[in-house]
A and B are shown apart, each in its own frame.
Chain A
Amino acid sequence: MVSDNFLGNYASCVAARSTNRAILAGSQDGGIVTQLFAFALEEGIIDGAIVAGPGDEPWRPRPMVATTVAELLAARGTKYNISPNVSFIKEATRSYGLDKVGIVGTPCQMQAVRKGQLYPVGLRDVPDKIALAIGIFCMENFPYQSIVQLVEDHANTKLDNVTKMDIGKGKFWVYTERGATVQLPLKVTHKYEQPGCHVCLDYVANLADISTGSVGTPDGWSTVFVRSKKGTDIWSKALAAGCFETKPIEEVKPGLELVTKLATEKITKNRKTIEERASFGVGKGLRNPYI
């Protein structure tokens, strides 16, 4: 078990991508989340998974409980705005009757899940039903209206025509149906970020069973941290079943070095933000949630 100040505890770290072409066709990077949930669903490791499914407006996610592979496929890909997935965590065990729940979320959502398991104030019978929590790397998130602003105003592109959004190589990328690609420097996007993200002290979802993201691996691949006992068990079963093609993280570029760099940058910056909040006013500060 590796224990890192910024990358958290993890049993192993690899570069991986799904071996399923159908999944890869619409996935953000290596199709890790969709593939893992599909495998866990078929093996009975989970009864369903809370994912960011399609919403009423283009690129606006809505949390949904996927109980079939088709539903998982419909939720592939990253939508760079808020999907309150944790809001379904009790509902999944009630209305949907799931005994083994999968959930995907950002690092803060993983924090909510684990706090909820240890302190289930309003989460009756939920704690022992979390079968697989997958975390995604996250530098910051955006409200939906910020995405509208960025895509339709700054990138001058109709959201209906967008086929994919991505953040990488220091830019925010918007791909369209007709093949046009618009890139915005992250300098432009920063002010549209969700304010709550600026006190976040987790980049690679340290509290997930398995966490994944594009940073650290080549296009089409994902970096995967296998963390908990549950995560290790499920990951090894998925590998044995041939779900993933993997490479040692040491053999890919840019590798763990970049992940560590970005994690350090995010957490250091946000620690500073928390400090600054303490003397935000004149002799008065803002709340620090961490105790």
Chain B
Amino acid sequence: MGLFEKILGIFKKKDVTVETRGTTAPKPDEPEKPAVPERPAPPPTNAIPAERAPVVEGQTSAIPPDEKVPTTAQTDTKEVKPVSDKITAGHVHMSGCTGCEVAIADNYAGLLTLLDKYVDWVYDLTLADVRHIPEMDVALVEGSVCINDKISVEEIRETREKSKIVVALGSCACYGNITRFCRGGQQNQPQHEAYLPIGDLIKVDVYLPGCGPSPQLIKNVCVAAYLLLKGNADQQALATAYLKPLMQAAERGTEACFCDLMIDVIDQGLCIGCGACAAACPVRAITHEYGKPQGQRDLCIKCGACYNQCPRSWFSFDVVSQYEGIMETIDAAMQE
């Protein structure tokens, strides 16, 4: 729990409106009550768009004397420097199991380094008390979109409009994954039965597949996204080369399953029986027959891990030949 408190601490430091909103802010339909003022606005990079903030008209920014805000000044000073060249990112939760978000948190101290040095986490239903999707550099979208749910459809459209880079985080967002098998009937919305990968509704820039996506791939993509948006020319070139296969994966489409290995690798005479697919499969559906992968297709959850892990699905000599340097760069970036 220590980690969780630390993370929450960070968000509280950054967004001091957290405590007041929702608890003490008066409802618009109670005008007779004296307005309880909002606390001072958060730092500019975290600013919630004015039209979205639940601010009551006529509020002043004065702090009542009995409000306890002793640490505000101190924490604001701490944040001034590092915030300046961070990118803004957030987690958009569509229909997923939150496993992808847990995978983000599974970077442990690495997540704190990411938040300290590179990323302002501006939106996240689980971790940041921001109710509406703000403008952000990178949106990490978890889950597929339930097209029977108006709000989900609105939010995925809004995510695209407000984000520079949309990353499909995890296999549900990329390929539908386990939500492909939904037939509805679940409480309390039994009519919710049709789910689509986000790429069927919006343009997606980067795929980060996996069920769940590995914390290390999330870390690599986050550092690469930072270098792409804020780095020098060399760093941008490196980040572009690194992200290119994941961008091409996004262009390739929204369908995946073990069959991709058959269709695009084995049937094409490219398989070398290395075993990467079997290692990657989260449901142990892949064994080897005659040295080639054999999938139990009833077990396949359509996550696309096997295909994307295969060295013969896509392989970039430019990037992988530099594996040592790239891993050192990312490790150095993650040093506290």
Contacts and interface: CB of A to CB of B under 8 A. Distances in A.
A197 interface: yes
Contact of A91 (B215, B274, B279, B311): B279
Given A123-B280, A145-B290, A206-B321, A82 B273 contact: yes
Contacts of A33: none
Q: Which of A84, A91, A144 has the most CB of B within 10 A?
A: A84
B264 A118 contact: no
Interface string B89-105: 00000000000000100
Interface stretch (B36-44, B129-137, B322-330): B322-330
Question: Interface size class for chain B?
Answer: 35 or more
B314 to A, nearest CB: 5
Contacts of B326: 118
A198 B135 CA distance: 49
Interface in A251-285: none
Contact of B316 (A87, A112, A145, A290): A290
B244 interface: yes
A44 interface: no
Contact of B327 (A105, A117, A125, A197): A117
A81 B291 contact: yes
A122 B280 contact: yes
Interface in A90-112: 90-91, 105-106, 108-109, 111-112
Nearest to B312: A289
Contact of A143 (B286, B291, B312): B291
B182 interface: no
B272 interface: yes
Contacts of B278: 84, 86-87
B317 to A, nearest CB: 6
B271 interface: yes
A132 to B, nearest CB: 14
Given A121-B214, A125-B216, A289-B314, A115 B291 contact: no
B103 to A, nearest CB: 8
B201 interface: no
A119 B55 CA distance: 44
A196 interface: yes
Contacts of B319: 118
A111 B270 contact: no
Contacts of A154: none
A121 B217 contact: yes
A207 B305 contact: no
B315 interface: yes
A112 B274 contact: yes
Contacts of A143: 273, 290-292
Given A109-B274, A126-B279, A141-B273, 11 more contacts: A108-B272, A108-B311, A116-B309, A118-B326, A118-B327, A122-B280, A143-B291, A196-B271, A229-B324, A287-B270, A291-B314
Interface of A: 8-9, 63, 81-82, 84-91, 105-106, 108-109, 111-112, 114-128, 141, 143-145, 194-201, 206-207, 228-229, 286-287, 289-291
10 contacts: A9-B321, A84-B291, A87-B275, A112-B310, A119-B220, A121-B309, A124-B210, A196-B271, A207-B321, A289-B311
